[in-house]
Amino acid sequence: MTDLPIRLGAKKESSTFLEKVKQILPEGGNLNSCLTCGACSSGCPATGLENMDPRKFLRMAALGMDEEIQKTKWVWMCTMCQRCIYVCPMQINIPQLVYNARALWPREQRPKGILGSCDMALRNESRSAMGTSPEDFQFTVEDVLAEYQEAQPEFAGMEAPIDKEGAEFFLNQNSREPVTEPDEMLPLWKILHLAGADWTYGSKGWGGENYCLFLADDDAWKQITSTTAKQADDLGCKTYLNTE
């Protein structure tokens, strides 16, 4: 994108991009309800990057500027935090526009970090973006727990179960912590222990992130989510605790 304002030239055909997103949203969404008030841009952490903001992005879509939308790198700078929806008086779903704009990019041209993390998670049943196997995860959890129980006798009864059937809560975990900072798992264990919560990890699907979602790869993020959901169901857990 350049620093130039939006300029309209010859009349364009109706936006195929906008129409596609409207077909996805229930009852076509409300993408034509923009008041151009700018509330979405005022709180957006990505406002100003690549000379873009949510209001401008929405107006470009409404004006049929599909070619420009397909080229802007701003869609990868949006955090998908949905603050724009929260502050919008019309509750316009701009993140849906962003998500589908990401999907317009050839998969191999999407950001390498997100792409690599998504593909790594697809290669292991843990769904860990770091590639940690179920066996390595279990070893790490047991090792960290035993070491802490020895160092802190008051927590000798604390548990960090894996594949415990019938537990109330199914807990996920940031994939980096078991690999780079395993002690960072302890604070959450302590909270659950002191609260008397009945919880468990799953040996499968414990990876907390879903980079495939941020990659806008529908099939891949569904595969990640389905693994976790199936493991929780197989164990008979009632509630999914999402730490991410």
Q: How confident is the model at residue 14 (pLDDT cuts 50, 70, 90)?
A: low
Which of 71, 105, 139 finishes a domain?
Answer: 105
| Per-residue pLDDT, 11 | 47
CA distance 23 to 206: 34
- pLDDT mean across residues, the chain: 91
Within 104-217, residue ranges assigned H as helices are 112-122, 134-151, 177-180, 186-194, 211-214
Query: Picking from 46-55, 61-70, 137-146, 226-235, which range would have the lowest pLDDT averaged per residue?
Result: 61-70
74, 57 contact by CB (below 8 A): yes
What percent of the chain lies above the pLDDT cut of 90? 77
Q: Are 38 and 77 within one domain?
A: yes
178, 132 contact by CB (below 8 A): yes
Question: 4 lies in a domain?
Answer: no
| Per-residue pLDDT, 24 | 80
Which of 86, 105, 124 finishes a domain?
Answer: 105
pLDDT > 50? residue 230 = yes
CA distance 169 to 16: 44
Q: Are 63 and 167 within one domain?
A: no
Q: How confident is the model at residue 7 (pLDDT cuts 50, 70, 90)?
A: low
pLDDT > 70? residue 1 = no
pLDDT, one tens digit per residue, over 167-215 is: 999 999 999 999 999 999 999 999 999 999 999 999 999 999 999 999 9
Structural domain boundaries enclosing 46: 16-105
Q: Are 136 and 87 within one domain?
A: no
Q: Are 133 and 231 within one domain?
A: yes
Q: Are 95 and 134 within one domain?
A: no
pLDDT > 70? residue 144 = yes
80, 112 contact by CB (below 8 A): no
Q: Are 32 and 148 within one domain?
A: no
CA distance 137 to 146: 14
Pairing mode of beta strands 169-171, 199-200: parallel
Please state, as a whole number, how many other Cβ atoms lie within 10 Å of the Cβ of residue 168. Answer: 13
Which of 105, 130, 160 finishes a domain?
Answer: 105
Q: How confident is the model at residue 3 (pLDDT cuts 50, 70, 90)?
A: low
**CA angle (122 as vertex; 97, 169 as ends), nearest 5:** 85
Residue 127: exposed, middle, or buried by beta-carbon count in 10 A (0-12, 13-18, 19+)? buried
| Per-residue pLDDT, 28 | 74
148, 182 contact by CB (below 8 A): no
Segment 216-223 mean pLDDT: 95
| Per-residue pLDDT, 19 | 86
Q: Are 124 and 87 within one domain?
A: no
Given the structure tokens 């919880």, which residue do they identify?
199
What percent of the chain lies above the pLDDT cut of 70? 94
Q: Are 232 and 118 within one domain?
A: yes
Question: 10 lies in a domain?
Answer: no
Q: Given phi > 0 = left and psi -120 to 50 = alpha, else beta, which region is 191?
A: alpha
| Per-residue pLDDT, 31 | 82
CA dihedral (59, 62, 66, 70) positive or negative: positive
β-pair partners for 42: none
